Amino acid sequence: MAKKRILYVDAMIDAECGQSFFNGVIEALEKSQVHSKLDLITVRFNYGERRFSPRLMAELVRDYDAEGVILSGSEKNTSEIQNAWIQDYLFGLGRMLEDFPNMPVYGICFGHQALACLFEGETSRFSYKAGFENITPSHMAKYHPVFSKFPGGLKIGVSHGDHVVRIPKDFYLLASSDYCDCQAIAHDTRPIFSTQSHPEITADIRRVGSEKEAWDQYSDDDFETQDGPRFLSSVFEWMHDSIIR
């Protein structure tokens, strides 16, 4: 049987940082129970030899015959809602979700915020936060196929300056933390969910110029004991099981 294709939509600007996050995605896939059944394809909007406009998200899903999508983080800010690139991204995301209503979609950080904006939620700017945080599941988390595997909560990496301040229409809260009320959300009926956190963060982030200072305080043990890789592996398993052929 042919592998199921997952499209990783990379919206990072800094190539070194983007590659570090992508490496974490690859590592999590390799540790998942479905790694031999999934094929991960990457498209980049802001760096690399071949760049795509975010307005073309639906076309890219179609061209690559993708059956699931992961929306990466970004240095862009959804709170700057009038920014032309943000508008292009939201247009492309909206069209993709309209054209592929049953496709599983997982949003990370910026992807989480973009989904909130698209579904009539709201994001806002606050002081930058980076490091490992304790994430507390909501009472609804036990019904979600990924969050139900972490009933005691998560210790997971965050790196962001925007956050969701109003849960979008047709979504419910999955998790919160002491500094951010909306750490994760899921759609009521569609296979869409997102997290403010970065489960793809690995110790490699300490060698990235733009992130080095924020993460230098953490030891190898901190990265080895955090829940990000296990969580992201569960996301891949959820995606595999959610794909309808």
By the 10 Å C-beta count (0-12 exposed, 13-18 middle, 19+ buried), 86 is classed as: buried
List Cα–Cα distances, 50 to 42, 43, 47, in angstroms: 11, 8, 8
Candidate list 112, 117, 187, 200, residue with the active-site label? 200
- In the set 17, 109, 117, 182, the catalytic residue is 109
Among the listed residues 112, 144, 163, 198, the single catalytic one is 198
For 203, which DSSP code?
Answer: G
User: Which segments of 109-178 does DSSP mark as H helices, in order?
Assistant: 110-118
With beta carbons less than 8 A apart as the criterion, state whether 118 and 168 touch: yes
What residues have CB less than 8 Å from 231, skipping those under 6 apart? 146, 150, 154, 156, 199
Residue 163 annotated among the catalytic residues of the structure: no
Q: Is 17 in the active site?
A: no
The two three-digit tokens of residue 214, written as one number = 């924020």
Q: Where are the beta strands (DSSP E) in the chain?
A: 4-10, 38-44, 68-71, 105-108, 122-137, 154-166, 171-176, 184-187, 192-195
Annotated catalytic residue 109: yes
Give the residue numbers marked as catalytic. 109, 198, 200
